[in-house]
Amino acid sequence: MMNLHGIYPPCITPFTDGQIDTAGLAHNTARWMTTGLRGLLALGSNGEAAFVDEDESERVVATMREHTPRDRVLLVGTGRQSTAATIEATRRASRAGADAVLVLTPFYFKSQMTPDALVDHYRAVADASPVPVLLYNFTNVTGINLAPDTVALLSQHPNIVGQKDSNGDVGQVAAIVARVAADFPLLVGSAGTLYPSMMVGASGAIIAVANVVPDLCVRLYDLVRAGRHDEARILQRRLTPLAVAVTGTYGIAGLKAVMQIAGYAGGAPRMPLRPVKPEAVVVLQRLYEELVSGS
Amino acid sequence: MMNLHGIYPPCITPFTDGQIDTAGLAHNTARWMTTGLRGLLALGSNGEAAFVDEDESERVVATMREHTPRDRVLLVGTGRQSTAATIEATRRASRAGADAVLVLTPFYFKSQMTPDALVDHYRAVADASPVPVLLYNFTNVTGINLAPDTVALLSQHPNIVGQKDSNGDVGQVAAIVARVAADFPLLVGSAGTLYPSMMVGASGAIIAVANVVPDLCVRLYDLVRAGRHDEARILQRRLTPLAVAVTGTYGIAGLKAVMQIAGYAGGAPRMPLRPVKPEAVVVLQRLYEELVSGS
Amino acid sequence: MMNLHGIYPPCITPFTDGQIDTAGLAHNTARWMTTGLRGLLALGSNGEAAFVDEDESERVVATMREHTPRDRVLLVGTGRQSTAATIEATRRASRAGADAVLVLTPFYFKSQMTPDALVDHYRAVADASPVPVLLYNFTNVTGINLAPDTVALLSQHPNIVGQKDSNGDVGQVAAIVARVAADFPLLVGSAGTLYPSMMVGASGAIIAVANVVPDLCVRLYDLVRAGRHDEARILQRRLTPLAVAVTGTYGIAGLKAVMQIAGYAGGAPRMPLRPVKPEAVVVLQRLYEELVSGS
Amino acid sequence: MMNLHGIYPPCITPFTDGQIDTAGLAHNTARWMTTGLRGLLALGSNGEAAFVDEDESERVVATMREHTPRDRVLLVGTGRQSTAATIEATRRASRAGADAVLVLTPFYFKSQMTPDALVDHYRAVADASPVPVLLYNFTNVTGINLAPDTVALLSQHPNIVGQKDSNGDVGQVAAIVARVAADFPLLVGSAGTLYPSMMVGASGAIIAVANVVPDLCVRLYDLVRAGRHDEARILQRRLTPLAVAVTGTYGIAGLKAVMQIAGYAGGAPRMPLRPVKPEAVVVLQRLYEELVSGS
């Protein structure tokens, strides 16, 4: 049984001249491996998976696998709009080295994505997948919600082993935890609610800001686990401004800019995303320095 | 300085033949006073304030005051659409015995309710109010959000002494707590997120389910304050189903039906609300009994 | 049978030093009566009904009635949150001179406002009302929608004689017209879609911009009725910018500012609304002059 | 200059045993060519483009081109999430025979899709495309809106020759038409508002129901063009129920079921979409027969 508890970055995909910067990705991966991160997520939203083709995806996974020892977990995002394409992407990710896959709900035809349709989709993927599957719910991107009752039903499938929920809705986190078995881990995707989410039973997080300050995120996780609530709350508050800046305010372009500041390979996102403006880099630099200088 | 920390019910207003049942209200109030509730909220949403006229409102407050000793807090909802009507309602509530008033954001002209307009409104009310004022944010009802920065600004007014936030958004609770002084209490209005909200700094709650199981709500509050997290989480999970049933699923009519089952004065809501169907009463009875029998 | 077809302004309520300016209101009414308007709506949203108390409401209606001959239609907005208060307001409006009342859907408890609850509410009001009742649907304000099927059902009540729909959704206008009898008029509340709404069967409009340029609105109505489509489309396009400015962009404060420019009594809105800034007055003056100079 | 005015179906992609049924597609195309359709859209939403890979896409376009004479217009949907993938798909579609491409706004990172980002994206695509480009706005799918001002700006690019807008918002159709040159055609994607949309200046439509009743859709278009308003309104009302059933209520699965009933190649959609239930087929058959028997 894979232990999924802990902190993961949804790893950015660095580009140089629009092409995947495999050297940069290897550098980032190796550096992440010097921290307390439980593992990595390749090709999530922050990895610009929506902009990376199937061959490139395989290259990204292979590169990261090479620098990720087997006692860490390499998750790979393989959600596609069709069930067949999701299965195909899952198989390729598995061959390229994924320990497990993270499958975003399909969402192109929102009104047709009933609980029944989602259950059939996930079961088909889980049946076909050579590796364990994690559900992935992210309403801001998809416009649909994977309801706690649907998660509970799917959690009984032997090859569905956990969930990521990025909605930042702590009530829903509690509702899911209350409906699934104790060994079905729920990882949250919203750094600003990591502390309260863990207090209601989340098992960890896959959060953008862990790309750039992995050790601080792991420390917050450890403080909560140790019941050191006052310190946890203080660290949660300190982390939130940068976390919000690299997701809501400036998005991936902002995250990549901070990565660069922190000595990771960052670079520009692919179009239609646009690099952040110089003013934003100044703000991000200040937020980053305030955070790390205080630690 | 008024100590507002603790649990309050947003008290229902019982009606008999469509008229205010003052005897029932007195009975309820006296019974609530035998519990560990910090105080009561008269004429909130659950008090059907939107359906109660100004004279009736005065009667409700006077009745509740009579049975609420001065060491408990009697809050009164006095938000109206216009600033002038809000001030007038606030003055009447104060004369009738309110210790403080809870003022919902005006919301008829949503697109015009800019932060500036809200700041001017609350300052005018707080300047004119003989008693302290609490801000009240409830986006499900109003369609607008009172942003943390606006709360922070208003919290500096000497006669604005706290806030109720009913959005159930724990991230926003944390954001507000991070921006206001330590002695500015934030009471939440969503029972399903009471535990995590307190973990990020909420000072208590004004929650519908406290009308009917006040002592269980107070016990949850006490467990959190005592750092007894495992017990708190268990009680939170046990409370949530009934809490959801008497707000989201069945609303005030459902709450009143459970009140009746529990020996409080309940009765039917005013039209256009409608009494719950007999099937719903069965469900509510079961939820109530499961909750209290386990305690 | 009352003929409701035509154009109405939802009349602003002028205030002087915060009090109702009855002289100004009489002046406006008399001037409106020199135009081709079919009638007037007192105490709609644009009349700041949400900010006007019951005694003031009676005064507004009486003042307008005095200057509105019996061959024009005086509609009065009497929607309140409770059914009982709506009936009471309807009776007072009737006594003060209303020819018919316009009843906004109650909306405080949105999730409980099922089609059944709305049907019961409107039937109770229509049964009790001494004058004919018009339904009023305005989702931007209420957060709920009065569905075409519900309108169809209610249109069979002998004392429910028409509807105002302010959603600006031409497809829904067509859907309603297709479900009601030919003599059940639908008046729209969105000036920007007046022309296409009439093309699918709307019988007229109650629109803010008709406060200030009533004759242009009536001319558009007449052009459509006469099948002069090219001229209608051109006038529709010319009217839209000012119509949008006095509703969406600047709201009632903007409308009142243009009224003043056009020689009507305007004044400031009541708080929490705020007067428009001087820059906005310049924009509004330009939009108004461009519109009237071209006519 | 390509004349785009008229009616197009967003052609379904028939599958047999999950594979593209090219014979069925050829059959459908040949049959559509016996009608008054101006042209066809391959690989729109209704073509399940989201579920069709790049090689299959090329096959679909080539098959349809083979049976579409050069005096009809073959549009191909080529919107992808990244600018580079959109350009690549556009080039392949062009080589396979597209007369023009229809490019849905990218939408994965909704909050970052500012007007500036959309302008840069469309300009890059239009600069690189060997064939003319049409903008495509569909907020129900994307969660973002292509604002009239952005359309106006982009309409000045020499290789951007028109737009499809599927929002069903007649006011926005009018706003766009008012801002673009007279020779920039706007095709709507909502059958239920075809008549009023044309009345405010739309040049035609790309609508699901035209897959199955192309001649009725063309007749409606012709009636509007001829100024035969009463007949147009009647036909619009008759068309709407089936149009709503094959989009909102039952979606593509419903559309494919009706195609089958009408003698076209239909089949099941790809997962996660699911075939309609037998009860739905009965409803759809009735709607279809009522519509065609009355014509």
pLDDT digits (tens, 9 = 90+) for B76-122: 999 999 999 999 999 999 999 999 999 999 999 999 999 999 999 99
Per the structure, how many domains does chain B have? 1
Q: What integer is the mean pLDDT of A132-154?
A: 97
CA D121 – CA D164 distance, rounded (Å)? 17
B247 found inside a domain: no
Q: What are the φ/ψ torsions at residue B67 (nearest 5 degrees)?
A: -105, 10
A53 contacts chain D (CB < 8 A): yes
Other C-beta atoms within 10 Å of A71: how many?
Answer: 8
D273 found inside a domain: no
Spot the catalytic one: B110, B164, B256, B277. B164
D278 found inside a domain: no
Average pLDDT of chain C is 97
Among all residues of C, which ones are annotated catalytic? 164
Tokens of B151: 């709360």
Q: What integer is the mean pLDDT of C62-77?
A: 98
Tens of pLDDT, residue by residue over A47-60, are: 999 999 999 999 99
A172 contacts chain B (CB < 8 A): no
Q: Which residue has the tokens 């994977």?
A: A146
What's residue B75's pLDDT?
Answer: 98
**Does B108 contact C45 at a Cβ distance shorter than 8 Å?**
yes
D192 contacts chain C (CB < 8 A): yes
| D177, amino acid identity | V
CA C221 – CA C203 distance, rounded (Å)? 9
ipTM, interface predicted TM-score of the complex: 0.96
Q: What integer is the mean pLDDT of D171-199?
A: 96
Kindly tell me if the per-residue pLDDT of A295 is higher than 70.
no
Q: Residue D235: its chain C contacts at CB < 8 A?
A: none
Q: Residue D170: its chain C contacts at CB < 8 A?
A: 170-171, 193, 196
CATH for C66:
3.20.20.70
What's residue C133's pLDDT?
Answer: 98
Q: What integer is the mean pLDDT of D191-210?
A: 97
Instruction: List % helix, strand, coil for chain B (3-state, nearest 5).
Output: 55, 15, 35
Whole-Å CA distances, D134 to A72, B239, C57, D131, D137? 47, 55, 53, 10, 10
For C182, counting Cβ atoms within 10 Å of its Cβ (0-12 exposed, 13-18 middle, 19+ buried), the class is exposed
CA C231 – CA C221 distance, rounded (Å)? 11
CA dihedral C44, C47, C48, C54 (to 10 degrees): -80
What's residue D28's pLDDT?
Answer: 98
Tens of pLDDT, residue by residue over D7-17, are: 999 999 999 99
Beta bridge partners of D15: D20
Average pLDDT of chain D is 96
D41 found inside a domain: yes
Residue among C40, C36, C35, C39 nearest C13 (CA): C40
A265 found inside a domain: no
- pLDDT category at A249 given cuts 50, 70, 90 is confident
Tokens of D82: 């990244």
In D, minimum Cα distance to C198 occurs at: D196
Q: Give A109 to chain D, closest Cα distance, Å.
A: 7
Kindly tell me if the per-residue pLDDT of B288 is higher than 80.
yes
Beta bridge partners of A19: A16
D164 annotated active-site: yes
Q: Give C34 to chain D, closest Cα distance, Å.
A: 30
- Strands (DSSP E) found in A34-132: 39-42, 73-77, 100-104
CA B290 – CA B267 distance, rounded (Å)? 23
Q: What integer is the mean pLDDT of D262-291?
A: 96
Ranking A172-176, A256-260, B246-250 by mean pLDDT, the lowest is B246-250
Tokens of B70: 């001065």
**Does B200 contact A175 at a Cβ distance shorter than 8 Å?**
no
**Does D200 contact C174 at a Cβ distance shorter than 8 Å?**
no
Tens of pLDDT, residue by residue over B237-257, are: 999 999 999 998 899 999 999
CA B269 – CA B254 distance, rounded (Å)? 9
CA B255 – CA B77 distance, rounded (Å)? 19
Q: D38: part of which helix (H) or strand (E)?
A: none
Number of H helices, E strands in chain A: 12, 10
- Strands (DSSP E) found in C17-105: 19-20, 39-42, 73-77, 100-104
Is C174 in contact with C200 (CB distance < 8 Å)? yes
- High-pLDDT (> 90) share of chain C, %: 98
Tens of pLDDT, residue by residue over C78-90, are: 999 999 999 999 9
For D178, counting Cβ atoms within 10 Å of its Cβ (0-12 exposed, 13-18 middle, 19+ buried), the class is middle
Tens of pLDDT, residue by residue over A2-47, are: 899 999 999 999 999 999 999 999 999 999 999 999 999 999 999 9
What's residue D42's pLDDT?
Answer: 98
- High-pLDDT (> 90) share of chain A, %: 98
What's residue A294's pLDDT?
Answer: 77
In the three-class reduction of DSSP (H, G, I as helix; E, B as strand; rest coil), residue D188 is classed as: strand
Q: What integer is the mean pLDDT of C230-234?
A: 95
The one-character DSSP state at D248 is I
Kindly tell me if the per-residue pLDDT of B149 is higher than 80.
yes
C290 found inside a domain: no
Residue among A167, A162, A240, A170 nearest A201 (CA): A170
C294 found inside a domain: no
Q: Which of B112, B113, B125, B144 to mutate to test the interface with C (most CBs of C within 10 A)?
A: B112
Tokens of B188: 């939440």
Other C-beta atoms within 10 Å of B253: how many?
Answer: 22
Other C-beta atoms within 10 Å of D293: how many?
Answer: 7
Tokens of D260: 């089958």
**Does A237 contact B178 at a Cβ distance shorter than 8 Å?**
yes
A275 found inside a domain: no
CA A232 – CA C217 distance, rounded (Å)? 63
Instruction: Report the half-sphere exposure of B128 (CA within 13 A, side-chain side).
Output: 18
The one-character DSSP state at C284 is H
Kindly tell me if the per-residue pLDDT of D96 is higher than 90.
yes
Across C227-259, b (16+ Cβ under 10 Å) vs e yields: eeeeebbebbbbbbbbbbbbbeebbbbbbbbbb
What's residue A57's pLDDT?
Answer: 97
| C86, amino acid identity | T
CA A40 – CA A102 distance, rounded (Å)? 11
End-to-end CA distance of chain B: give it in Å, rounded.
35
Tokens of C117: 């609850």
**Does B84 contact C124 at a Cβ distance shorter than 8 Å?**
no
SS (H, E, C) C183-222: CCCEEECCHHHHHHHHHCCCCEEECHHHHCCHHHHHHHHH
What's residue A1's pLDDT?
Answer: 67
* Total beta-carbon pairs less than 8 A apart between chain C and chain D: 64
Contacts of C108 (CB under 8 A, 6+ apart): B45, B50, B141, C81
CA B224 – CA B31 distance, rounded (Å)? 25
- pLDDT category at D91 given cuts 50, 70, 90 is very high
What does B193-250 look like in DSSP terms, one character per residue?
GHHHHHHTT--EEE-GGGGT-HHHHHHHHHHHHTT-HHHHHHHHHHHHHHHHIIIIIT
Restricting to C residues 226-285, those with a Cβ less than 8 Å away from any Cβ of D are: 227, 229, 233, 236-237, 240
Q: What are the φ/ψ torsions at residue A165 (nearest 5 degrees)?
A: -125, 120
Q: Give B188 to chain C, closest Cα distance, Å.
A: 19
Kindly tell me if the per-residue pLDDT of B47 is higher than 80.
yes
Is A12 in contact with A252 (CB distance < 8 Å)? yes
Whole-Å CA distances, B4 to B67, B100, B125, B186, B214? 19, 10, 20, 9, 16
What's residue C8's pLDDT?
Answer: 98
Q: Give A236 to chain B, closest Cα distance, Å.
A: 9
In C, minimum Cα distance to B87 occurs at: C271
What's residue B295's pLDDT?
Answer: 53
CA C29 – CA C38 distance, rounded (Å)? 13
Tokens of A203: 């098992």
Q: Give B111 to chain A, closest Cα distance, Å.
A: 22
In the three-class reduction of DSSP (H, G, I as helix; E, B as strand; rest coil), residue D181 is classed as: coil
Residue among D190, D174, D181 nearest D157 (CA): D181
Q: Residue A271: its chain D contacts at CB < 8 A?
A: 82-84, 120-121, 124
Tokens of C166: 């302010």
What's residue D248's pLDDT?
Answer: 86
What's residue C2's pLDDT?
Answer: 84
Tens of pLDDT, residue by residue over D115-154, are: 999 999 999 999 999 999 999 999 999 999 999 999 999 9
Kindly tell me if the per-residue pLDDT of C241 is higher than 70.
yes
Q: What integer is the mean pLDDT of C108-134?
A: 97
Range of the domain at C137: 6-232
